[in-house]
Amino acid sequence: MQLLRRIMAEEQPGITAALEAALAEMPPQTAGAAAHLLRAGGKRLRPLLTLLWGRVCGLSHDDLYRLGAAVEMLHAATLLHDDVLDGADMRRGRPAAHLVFGLTESVLAGDAMLAKALLMVSDLGDARLTACISRAVMHTAEGESAELAALRRLDVCQEDYLAMITGKTAWMLRAACELGTLRAGADDTVVRASARFGLDLGVAFQLVDDCLDFSPSEETGKPRGGDLREGKATPPVLLYFAALSPDQRQAFAAGFETGNIAGPELERVCREIYERGYAREARTLAEERLDAAAAGLAGLPPCPELTALREMCEYIRNRSA
Ligand code: FPP
Ligand code: MG
């Protein structure tokens, strides 16, 4: 993981500068909430993917920072909206923006950031780039909407779940990769490879995230069972539910469907899901997607950025927080 860490550290100043430049161009009324979230940190995986894929295709132009910043801006916009929808209190160790700036202000800041991100991409004057990011926005909204419709339901199948996370998370990572190859003017086969990579990586990323919801909070630094409390039937929950006796199933369903799993009961269920190995088992789904993502890199010309992309797969595979 050495190379990825080095590149991550080296690229942070360029990514931060591009984000700050974009923030300075936002309407002042919306810049507060935008800055509150963007300056709270974050791994900046999306801009890094844009940079890495652009460089794999031989492009080293500064446009890549602006493109990467646009995807990060869009990602932040979705988080502002998501925290309102989820009623979240905290994000990146800070109070959620809607608690600081107000609900309406936070939603409008998200709207402005979404528009700003699209403008940043369309400024480059290539309709394929604009179409790429616009499609990602549409699928993100589609996935989030499907997730909301499935809340507190235990009849979600794995296919439905995968469709939801492909939309709400993976399409944006796909766009991050594809924008890099498109800007570099890569062949269609390479553009398609970058899109496939981003989609697989994104599905794996969300799967791992959903499994980490059951890890002890001392390990992740986040409250345990947040997704379960919100009523999200993620793969570890579905595996757990399927293995319960009929009576236990009825009792669990009654709490889950009415949103009444909280406090010590939430902790107990999380501990059982974790200790019985359902979170671990569900991670194998992510591992398959990461294997596919890494396999899709074969055949591309070897370079440090390609190695860093392989390391990104390992980084997600081994994530524990
Ligand atoms: C985080 O999921 C949320 C997303 C990945 C996508 C949210 C998308 C929207 C709100 C709709 C689209 C909005 C725009 C501006 C296009 P999570 O709740 O599982 O993760 P968390 O624990 O980080 O909140
Ligand atoms: Mg959320």
Task: Place 111 in a pLDDT band, splitting at 50, 70 and 90.
Answer: very high
Nearest CA to ligand 1 atom 8: 78
- The CA distances from residue 36 to 72, 100, 262, in Å, are 14, 9, 29
pTM of the full structure: 0.97
> Counting Cβ atoms within 10 Å, is residue 41 exposed (0-12), middle (13-18) or buried (19+)?
exposed
pLDDT at 221 (0 to 100): 86
Which ligand is in closest contact with the Cα of 210? 1
Percent of the chain residues past pLDDT 70, beyond the cut: 100
90: β partners: 95
Closest ligand 1 atom number to CA of residue 114: 15
User: Which whole number is the average pLDDT over 86-93?
Assistant: 90
pLDDT of residue 222: 86
Q: Which residue has the higher pLDDT, 24 or 88?
A: 24
| Any ligand 1 atom below 6 A from CB of 85 | yes
- Model confidence over 36-64: pLDDT tens digits? 999 999 999 999 999 999 999 999 888 99
From the list 44, 97, 35, 37, the residue with the least C-alpha distance to 71 is 44
Residue 16 main-chain phi, psi, to 5 deg: -60, -45
Q: Tell me: the pLDDT tens digits for 114-149?
A: 999 999 999 999 999 999 999 999 999 999 999 999
* Cα 143 to middle of ligand 1, angstroms: 9
Tell the residue nearest (CA) to atom 16 of ligand 1.
137
Provide CB contacts within 8 A for 3, sequence distance 6+.
304, 307, 308, 311
pLDDT at position 61: 85
Q: Tell me how far the alpha carbon of residue 84 lies from the centroid of ligand 1, in angstroms.
A: 10
Q: Name which of 220, 228, 118 is nearest 179 in CA terms.
A: 118
SS (H, E, C) 277-288: CHHHHHHHHHHH
Q: Give the Å distance between the CA of 138 and the centre of ligand 1.
A: 13
Q: Is 206 in the pocket of ligand 1 (CB under 6 A)?
A: no
CA atoms in the 13 A half-sphere facing the CB of 171: 23
Distance from the Cα of residue 241 to its chain's centroid: 26
Mean pLDDT across the chain: 97
Mutation test residue for ligand 1: of 71, 75, 79, 209, the one with most atoms within 8 Å of CB: 79
- Report the distance separating Cα 271 and Cα 263, nearest Å: 13
Minimum-distance ligand to the CA of 74? 1
The ligand minimizing its distance to the Cα of 148 is 1
For the CA of 80, the nearest atom of ligand 1: 10
Name the closest-CA residue to atom 18, ligand 1: 82
- Distance, CA of 320 to CA of 249 (rounded, Å): 29
Could you tell me the pLDDT band of residue 1, with boundaries at 50, 70 and 90? confident
